[in-house]
């Protein structure tokens, strides 16, 4: 018996010893794939994935209890909707062969021909890049939902988001990352300040202006119903953001580490500055302020993460927290629009600041593929950044306006007054986030109940009538 065991053990050890040799041989065949880079990008894709459910909790806690499921459903449903859209058409529109700097052609429709190829100019399989970018395409429209929370009909939401992903997100991703005209212009956007945050924030502002305020806005209080849920969501967002920014290095390398540190620096600095601003301005430091601040900092550092050094990242965060705080606390109140959960105030404003800051503090010391910003002796970059900010604003405003009008031709966009009063959980989804044990009601097919039986009999009678 002992002999058999030692034989097995020896065989196993041999296998283990030989295995690396076999792997190395495999590597030689696909010389350009780096396993460390690939592992990091795949993990980063999973980190970015968890941001969207995190966003669902972040937003879900901030709405009133009657809308918690409707709000969470919007983000969660987008994960499904846009993942399928991305594989079918999104990837090829954004990253297919460039057509006149405007859009990718359709040669990779349905991921045709991607196979197990190595990413062009990369060290990872193209499919890892597809997965990573898929999560970006998912979270961007989900960010918009904060602006029109608590009042948009679900069918209109689905149609709008799908059109938005196809006609606004995919082209913009191509312009900046897919070899389009903004990339040729020299605009820098490391992980998506322009493509993701300006685009979603400004689109959100456009839609909330078109839909109008929630009924009773400004008169009856609309308080967050579950701030601990919001804190949980913000923590998941912060966690996932390491994949978002450091993963955008597309490799497990020093650039990724730089993006990781700048991300933490800006998020922490903005949390401090938002809380302090609020403390001075309103008298109390709040947890909603702390989590809003961290998101503002994360947004602001997103375009800059792989181009700036850690100290400028602290400044970008400090300024981002204060600017976003005043955007939501003062500017929004003065202008009177109802951006329910501050998609514009945090993502639009924070993204704009981040894109400008990239033009100020970017340095080729961090990233030779980048450029030097204004504080490092070159003004070309800041000009390119400003032009691309304007382009992103125009695309978001005009595009969202046209798409909402188109959706409005086919269906009602906003819920009716009584639906809005009873809440979207009931009107759109027929379910409730929080059970009330004493609420009466019987199962339709509960045969122990006389009236239900009568109802069933009526149903059967109805059927026979039809026959």
Tell me whether residue 333 or residue 369 sits nearer to another protein (CB atom). Answer: 333
Tell me whether residue 192 or residue 289 sits nearer to another protein (CB atom). Answer: 289
Q: Where are the alpha helices (DSSP H) in 327-449?
A: 332-335, 349-361, 380-410, 417-422, 424-429
Q: Nearest approach, Cβ of 288 to another protein (angstroms)?
A: 6
Tell me whether residue 110 or residue 218 sits nearer to another protein (CB atom). Answer: 218
> Which tokens sit at 203?
């689109």
178 closest CA partner among 83, 85, 107? 107
Q: Assess 217 for contact with another protein (CB under 8 A).
A: no
> 152 by DSSP, 3-state: which?
strand
Q: Nearest approach, Cβ of 225 to another protein (angstroms)?
A: 11
169 closest CA partner among 106, 111, 103? 103
Which is it for the CA torsion 363, 365, 371, 372, positive or negative? positive
Tell me whether residue 77 or residue 326 sits nearer to another protein (CB atom). Answer: 326
**Helix axis angle, 35-62 relative to 227-246, nearest 10°?**
160
Give the contacts of 358 (CB within 8 A, at least 6 positions apart): 188, 189, 190, 193, 303, 304, 307, 308, 373, 381, 385
Distance from C-alpha of 94 to C-alpha of 199, rounded to nearest angstrom:
15
Tell me whether residue 98 or residue 342 sits nearer to another protein (CB atom). Answer: 342
Q: Nearest approach, Cβ of 281 to another protein (angstroms)?
A: 7
Q: Nearest approach, Cβ of 290 to another protein (angstroms)?
A: 12
Q: Nearest approach, Cβ of 313 to another protein (angstroms)?
A: 24
Q: Nearest approach, Cβ of 340 to another protein (angstroms)?
A: 11
Distance from C-alpha of 79 to C-alpha of 409, rounded to nearest angstrom:
26
Which helix (H) or strand (E) covers residue 104, if one does? strand 103-104
Cβ atoms of 195 and 171 within 8 Å: the answer is: no
Q: Nearest approach, Cβ of 436 to another protein (angstroms)?
A: 14
| Per-residue CA distances from 70 to 74, 219, 424 (Å) | 6, 23, 6
Q: How many residues touch another protein (CB under 8 A)?
A: 18
Distance from C-alpha of 316 to C-alpha of 198, rounded to nearest angstrom:
16
Cβ atoms of 354 and 188 within 8 Å: the answer is: no
Give the contacts of 130 (CB within 8 A, at least 6 positions apart): 86, 87, 91, 111, 114
> Which tokens sit at 372?
């030097």
Q: Assess 223 for contact with another protein (CB under 8 A).
A: yes
Q: Nearest approach, Cβ of 399 to another protein (angstroms)?
A: 27
Q: Assess 299 for contact with another protein (CB under 8 A).
A: no
Tell me whether residue 288 or residue 374 sits nearer to another protein (CB atom). Answer: 288
> Which tokens sit at 132?
């990573």
Residue in 20, 115, 221, 336 binding another protein, rule: CB under 8 A: 221
Query: In angstroms, how far is the first alpha carbon of the chain from the final one?
Result: 75
Core vs surface per residue 312-330: b (16+ CB within 10 A) or e: bbbbbbbbbbbbbbbbbbe
Half-sphere exposure of 448 (CA within 13 A, CB side): 2
Distance from C-alpha of 392 to C-alpha of 252, rounded to nearest angstrom:
30
The interface with another protein within residues 336-355 (CB under 8 A) comprises: 342
Tell me whether residue 90 or residue 289 sits nearer to another protein (CB atom). Answer: 289
Q: Nearest approach, Cβ of 353 to another protein (angstroms)?
A: 17
Q: Nearest approach, Cβ of 222 to another protein (angstroms)?
A: 9
> Which tokens sit at 445?
């097919």
Tell me whether residue 34 or residue 342 sits nearer to another protein (CB atom). Answer: 342
Tell me whether residue 145 or residue 388 sits nearer to another protein (CB atom). Answer: 145
Q: Nearest approach, Cβ of 223 to another protein (angstroms)?
A: 6
Tell me whether residue 286 or residue 364 sits nearer to another protein (CB atom). Answer: 286
Q: Nearest approach, Cβ of 142 to another protein (angstroms)?
A: 20
β-partners of residue 103 are 99
x/- letters, 269..298, toward another protein (CB under 8 A):
---------x--xxxx-x-xx--x------
Tell me whether residue 323 or residue 356 sits nearer to another protein (CB atom). Answer: 323
Tell me whether residue 23 or residue 333 sits nearer to another protein (CB atom). Answer: 333
x/- letters, 300..339, toward another protein (CB under 8 A):
-------------------------x--xxx--x------
Q: DSSP per residue over 302-313, as a string? A: TTTTTTS-HHHH
Binding site for another protein (CB under 8 A): 221, 223-224, 278, 281-284, 286, 288-289, 292, 325, 328-330, 333, 342
């Amino acid at each position: 018996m002992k002999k058999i065991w030692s034989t097995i053990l020896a065989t196993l050890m041999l296998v283990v010893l030989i295995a690396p040799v076999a792997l190395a041989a495999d590597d030689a065949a696909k010389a350009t794939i780096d396993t460390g880079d690939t592992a990091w990008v795949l993990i980063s894709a999973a980190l970015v994935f968890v941001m969207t459910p995190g966003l669902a909790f972040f937003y879900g806690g901030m709405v009133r209890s009657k809308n918690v499921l409707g709000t969470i459903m919007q983000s969660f449903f987008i994960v499904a909707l846009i993942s399928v859209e991305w594989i079918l058409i999104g990837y090829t529109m954004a990253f297919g062969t460039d057509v006149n700097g405007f859009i990718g052609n359709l040669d990779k429709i349905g991921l045709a021909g991607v196979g197990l190829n190595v990413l062009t100019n990369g060290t990872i399989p193209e499919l890892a890049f597809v997965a990573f970018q898929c999560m970006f395409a998912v979270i961007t429209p989900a960010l918009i939902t904060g602006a029109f929370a608590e009042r948009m009909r679900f069918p209109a939401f689905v149609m709008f988001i799908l059109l938005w992903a196809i006609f606004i997100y995919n082209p913009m991703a191509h312009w900046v990352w897919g070899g389009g005209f903004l990339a040729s212009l020299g605009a820098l956007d490391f992980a998506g300040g322009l493509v993701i945050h300006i685009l979603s924030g400004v689109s959100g502002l456009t839609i909330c202006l078109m839909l109008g305020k929630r009924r009773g806005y400004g008169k009856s209080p609309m308080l967050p119903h579950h701030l601990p849920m919001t804190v949980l969501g913000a923590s998941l967002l912060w966690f996932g953001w390491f994949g978002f920014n450091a993963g955008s290095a597309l490799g497990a390398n020093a650039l990724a580490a730089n993006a990781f540190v700048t991300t933490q620096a800006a998020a922490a600095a903005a949390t401090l500055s938002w809380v302090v601003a609020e403390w001075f301005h309103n008298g109390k430091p709040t947890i909603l302020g702390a989590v809003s601040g961290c998101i503002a900092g994360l947004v602001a550092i997103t375009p800059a993460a792989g181009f700036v050094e850690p100290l400028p990242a602290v400044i970008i965060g400090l300024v981002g927290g204060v600017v976003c705080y005043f955007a939501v606390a003062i500017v929004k109140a003065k202008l009177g629009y109802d951006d329910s959960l501050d998609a514009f105030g945090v993502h639009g404003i924070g993204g704009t600041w981040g894109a400008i800051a990239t033009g100020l503090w970017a340095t080729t010391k961090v990233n030779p593929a980048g450029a030097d910003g204004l504080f490092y002796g070159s003004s070309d970059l800041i000009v390119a950044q400003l032009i691309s900010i304007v382009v992103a604003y125009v695309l978001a405003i005009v595009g969202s306006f046209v798409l909402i009008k188109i959706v409005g031709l086919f269906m009602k966009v906003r819920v009716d007054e009584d639906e809005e009063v009873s809440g979207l959980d009931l009107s759109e989804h027929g379910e409730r986030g929080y059970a009330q044990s004493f609420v009466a009601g019987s199962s339709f097919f509960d045969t122990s109940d006389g009236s239900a039986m009568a109802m069933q009999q009526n149903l059967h009678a109805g059927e026979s009538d039809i026959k």
